[in-house]
Structure 1
Amino acid sequence: MTKTKTNPGRFFEDYTLGQRIDHAVPRTVSGGERALYHALYPARHALYSSDEFARGCGLPGAPLDDLAAFHVIFGKTVPDISLNALANLGYAEGRWLRPVWAGDTLRSVSEVIGLKQNSSGKSGVVWVRTKGFNQHSEIVLEYVRWVMVKKRDADAPAPETVAPDLAAALSADQLVIPKGLDFTDYDFTLAGEPHRWGDYAVGEVIDHVDGVTIEEAEHMLATRLWQNTAKVHFDRDAREGGRLIYGGHVISMARALSFNGLANAQIIAGLNGGAHANPCHAGDTVRAWSEVLDRAETSAPGVGALRLRLVATKGGAAGALKGEDGKYLPDVLLDLDYWALVPM
């Protein structure tokens, strides 16, 4: 008798409300992840590039880039959540709760908090809240995402529709400031730009100017680095139109490009929302612009918070996001709403 030992991944009807999923394969990170992250993206924020700069800001050294930690924790979830996904639809209520240091071991746990079958009956949307833990069982990151997942059997009964009530945005007092962070003696010269918290106005749009063309090889290296096994990123036959660039790759590329104009937006503390507006493929040139949505003071010395909209495009004009019909323009790849910590 032949027994199946391989894992085909979960389909929509395999999820139940309240289901807890402990994701496999913990990952110990090192300085190698930092070096590879900076090789894949033009990442230059000083706090993550220099131990000495980080110590000058009250930290014991440079932590792993916030988005690198996100990618590792996200990658753990892929075999259980999005292996059979048609699309990753959005994010909400994301908070970075502790820095990740070289030597930390990360693991992920998700809870299903919402289910809704699509009208076609061939797929459905699954909402999960994911938490990433270090080796001390401390939560370092949490976020909600929702994914459109194929059904194995179109005739399988639809579950009761439950759509979670998610916050449109985090308030500044929900942000967690890394222990010891102090921007009182912040070195603007070494950071690369003079712009302080007070130099940014709500409604201001910043064109980050530069562009980077996505290469197939670098995307494949990135998804392997983050152990992201989604079929649409690896197998060109899994999706009509060819392999899809991992949305997180676009997020990190846009964040790195935002250095030009936001070099002092050092730490990502909160993720309010995000949408992968249009697919990205190898050969696309990614550009970025940001809009200042809000400003807030924090309790940490010399530290302010900016709420920013980061938009990645394939060449669209800065400030252009949606058409008259309310839909994203075809050149828009990413619309990300996040909080960043900056010197006052």
Structure 2
Amino acid sequence: MKTNPGRFFEDYSVGEVIDHAIPRTLSGGERALYHALYPARHALHSSDEFARASGLLAAPFDDLITFHTVFGKSVPDISLNAVANLGYAEGRWLRPVLPGDTIRSESTVIGLRENSNGKSGVVWVRTRGMNQHGDPVLEFVRWVMVRKHRAESPAAAPIVPEVKEFVPADELIVPAGLDFSNYDFTFAGEPHRWGDYRVGERIDHVDGVTVEEAEHMLATRLWQNTAKVHFDRTQREDGKRLIYGGHVISLARALSFNGLANAQSIVALNAGAHANPCFAGDTVRAWSEVLDKAETGAPGVGALRLRLVATRHGAEPFALRDALGKYLPDVLLDLDYWALMPL
């Protein structure tokens, strides 16, 4: 058989290293499409001149373009037969990606656990993206629920890896040369700097975006994400196409500009959960909470640890879980990340 049905839960083994196919050279087209799909407008990723004034060679791609590209390469081998992508941890952006860079991915299987229903299981992988020189640009752990090919297939002994609750501030990688000493707050769009935020502060980002069927499928194709649940409505009993979780991440991050315009670069992904499914017709809104603050060794550069929560329209602002600790039904995303901001 020449066609590829994708891997099922029983096809993985802990310690296996998977080289993902089809490296991708990124160009200005990806940047333009990203800005067309999401209301993304952080200055460092929009303007070469702003980036050069901040010590970089040119405007790097939005950090989530790098994430989507690396993630998308892994889908045919990791989550083609996924039920759902469950979470993230230990993500670090290791160097900027610029137009002309070619990105490839590899994943190491670090954990397996069959579900009690015997029809699926959870697979943990550590995925790394590299550029054309073999330099790592991004790494993260994710875990995904994958269907079994045959329910009667024996399952390997469960191995559940331990992952860090968050990336320590002293392990954050600041892009080489980044300098916010002469940061232009007018061009950036807001006056709020690192010192203006306090731990525990919550920010309602006010704006919303209604997701359309065509745009989320275009976005998922853009990142060459081939997971069946995003395109084939017969993959779900309700007949709906599940919106790629990364699409929700990018929408929420872009919406966070209103209140966090100077949180220019994502440098770590501490944790993340797609709390409830998102479908076409949902209007996505977002709020953030400041979890921690740290200085860095780079001139004028501080780091904020932020919780970014995406919700469906109608959700109560700043509401996250019920009395039993379960995510409320209109919470779509709970993301914990570090971002760089001028001091």
Q: Is the 8 A contact 1:212 1:285 kept in 2?
A: yes
Deviation digits for residues 273-329 of structure 1, max 9, x if unmatched? 000000000000000000000000000000000000000000222211000011000
State the match for 1:52 in structure 2. Answer: 49
2:207 aligned to which of 203, 207, 210: 210
State the match for 1:279 in structure 2. Answer: 277
Structure 1 segments (4+ residues) deviating >4 Å: none
Mapping of 1:316-327 within 5 angstroms?
Answer: 316-327=315-326
CA–CA separation in structure 2 for the residues paired with 1:302 and 1:9: 47
State the match for 1:290 in structure 2. Answer: 288
CA–CA separation in structure 2 for the residues paired with 1:231 and 1:95: 28
SS of equivalent to 1:282: coil
Mapping of 1:18-29 within 5 angstroms?
Answer: 18-29=15-26
CA–CA separation in structure 2 for the residues paired with 1:62 and 1:216: 31
Q: Is the 8 A contact 1:44 1:259 kept in 2?
A: yes
Q: 1:147 and 2:144 equivalent? A: yes
Amino acid at match of 1:40: L
RMSD (Å) for aligned C-alpha atoms: 0.5
SS of equivalent to 2:233: coil
CA–CA separation in structure 2 for the residues paired with 1:59 and 1:240: 49
Mapping of 1:3-42 within 5 angstroms?
Answer: 4-42=1-39
1:136: Cα distance to partner? 0.1
1:238: Cα distance to partner? 1.2
SS of equivalent to 1:237: helix
Q: Structure 1: which 5+ residue stretches go unaligned?
A: none
State the match for 1:338 in structure 2. Answer: 337
Q: 1:228 and 2:228 equivalent? A: no
Q: Is the 8 A contact 1:295 1:307 kept in 2?
A: yes
Q: Is the 8 A contact 1:206 1:318 kept in 2?
A: no
1:307 aligned to which of 301, 305, 308: 305
CA–CA separation in structure 2 for the residues paired with 1:318 and 1:55: 38
1:147: Cα distance to partner? 0.4
Equivalent residues, number: 341
When structure 1 is superposed on structure 2, of 239-248 and 275-284 the one drifting more is 239-248
Q: Is the 8 A contact 1:205 1:318 kept in 2?
A: no
1:158: Cα distance to partner? 1.4
State the match for 2:327 in structure 1. Answer: 328
Q: Structure 2: which 5+ residue stretches go unaligned?
A: none
State the match for 1:114 in structure 2. Answer: 111
Identity %: 75
Q: 1:85 and 2:82 equivalent? A: yes
SS of equivalent to 1:132: strand
CA–CA separation in structure 2 for the residues paired with 1:120 and 1:230: 22
Deviation digits for residues 188-215 of structure 1, max 9, x if unmatched? 0000000010100000000000000001
CA–CA separation in structure 1 for the residues paired with 2:284 and 2:318: 15
CA–CA separation in structure 2 for the residues paired with 1:121 and 1:328: 25
Amino acid at match of 2:330: D
Give the TM-score of the pair, scaled to structure 1: 0.99
CA–CA separation in structure 1 for the residues paired with 2:17 and 2:3: 21
CA–CA separation in structure 2 for the residues paired with 1:277 and 1:47: 30
1:240: Cα distance to partner? 2.1
Q: 1:196 and 2:193 equivalent? A: yes
Deviation digits for residues 83-119 of structure 1, max 9, x if unmatched? 0011100000000000000000000000000000111
1:269 aligned to which of 267, 270, 285: 267
CA–CA separation in structure 1 for the residues paired with 2:191 and 2:153: 59
Q: 1:104 and 2:84 equivalent? A: no
